[in-house]
Amino acid sequence: MNELQRQFPDLPDWEKLYQQQQVESMPWYNPILDTDLEQALKKLKLERGTILDIGTGPGTQAIALAQRGFRVTATDISETAIAKAKNQAQAKGLNIFFQTDDILDTRIEGKFDFVFDRGCFHVLPPERRQTYVDTVHGLIVTQGYLFLKCFSHLETREGGPYRFTPEQIREVFGDRFQVISIEETAYQGTLDPPPKALFCILQKY
């Protein structure tokens, strides 16, 4: 049994997981800004603006984005994840708006310049994907970007999140977003080797 299967024979009860485990030992824990997002921000020359980090978990990405000057809202379905992430941000003196929230039944209002999703979409039930697309579409300004990182179909470990081909991403998001790019990459965290991933840049029509 590999590490992903050991921790997630099925998709986890997120709240229980964050109550029981140190975030630093979770497979997705990455203390620095995701390198694919970093490159995308550089390429698109994005240095300021509002960003929603969906499924923020340990909050490392929200923190790294706030440190770069973005105005960050960070949400997660787990109250404990939000509490832990909030502590980290406060300790660093950062002003991030954290809220416990289910993206499939969101209470978040307003529109953001960007949305980042590093690992939330790929754990959602397939039958709820359209709700996700419609919700996220409604949370972004016209021409705003959705940066999406998910497991790739090339990842062969058993267990863990759903995997996607670039064609599937186009199929799910294509009606509502222009697909700017979909790159094969890796999901940096605590697993070795890191899982194979897709990094997608999608722009709201």
Ligand X SMILES: C[S@@+](CC[C@H](N)C(=O)[O-])C[C@H]1O[C@@H](n2cnc3c(N)ncnc32)[C@H](O)[C@@H]1O
Judged by the rule CB under 6 A, the positions of this chain that interact with ligand X are: 14, 28, 54-58, 60-61, 75-78, 81, 102-104, 118-120, 123
Q: What is the rounded end-to-end Cα distance, in angstroms, of the chain?
A: 43
Q: Give the torsion sign (CA, 111, 91, 29, 123).
A: negative
Q: How far is the CB of 203 from ligand X (least distance, A)?
A: 21
For the bound state, the minimum distance from the C-beta of residue 122 to ligand X, rounded and expressed in Å, comes to: 8
Closest distance to ligand X from the beta carbon of 69 (Å):
20
Compare residues 55 and 144 and give the one whose CB is closer to ligand X. 55
Q: Which has the closest alpha carbon to 54: 128, 141, 126, 112?
A: 112
Spell out a b/e string for 35-57, using b for 16 or more CB atoms within 10 Å of the CB, else e: ebbeebbeeeebeeebbbbbbbb
Give every CB contact of residue 45 below 8 A, 6+ residues apart in sequence: none
Are the beta carbons of 12 and 47 closer than 8 angstroms? no
Phi, psi of 168 (to 5 degrees): -65, -40
Task: Report in angstroms how near the CB of residue 163 gets to ligand X at its nearest.
Answer: 13
By beta-carbon proximity to ligand X, the closer residue of 102 and 184 is: 102
Residue 102 vs 143, nearer CB to ligand X: 102
Least Cβ distance, residue 57 to ligand X (angstroms)? 3
**Nearest in space to 118 (alpha carbons), one of 6, 197, 49, 10:** 197
Find the shortest distance in angstroms from Cβ 20 to ligand X: 13
Give the residue with the Cβ less far from ligand X, 58 or 144.
58
- CA distances (Å), origin 183, targets 10, 36, 163: 27, 9, 14
Using the minimum distance from each CB to ligand X, give the nearer residue, 90 or 190: 190
